[in-house]
Amino acid sequence: HELWTIVSGNGVCTVDDKVFEVANDSFVTVPKGARHRIENTSDVDDLIIAEVQVGDYISESDIVRYQDDYGRDK
């Protein structure tokens, strides 16, 4: 799973079917296999998060992009 700490800024986070606002000093737990995304809603500041991945095997190779608004390769 992943643990996100919102360091600064504001955003909207989606974890599976739950959509909620996050702000400075918020924490988000993303269960293994959950669809998740975070969107910056700050007018002036960047949304800065610290991500910690927890588990026996940690890799970015298992990422599946269901919707990519930024044109990155799948």
> Cβ distance 38 to 11 under 8 Å?
yes
Assign 8 to helix, strand or coil.
strand
The confidence band for 28, taking pLDDT boundaries of 50, 70 and 90, is very high
Task: Give yes or no for residue 29 having a pLDDT over 70.
Answer: yes
Task: Give yes or no for residue 21 having a pLDDT over 80.
Answer: yes
pLDDT number for residue 58: 65
Task: Give yes or no for residue 40 having a pLDDT over 90.
Answer: yes
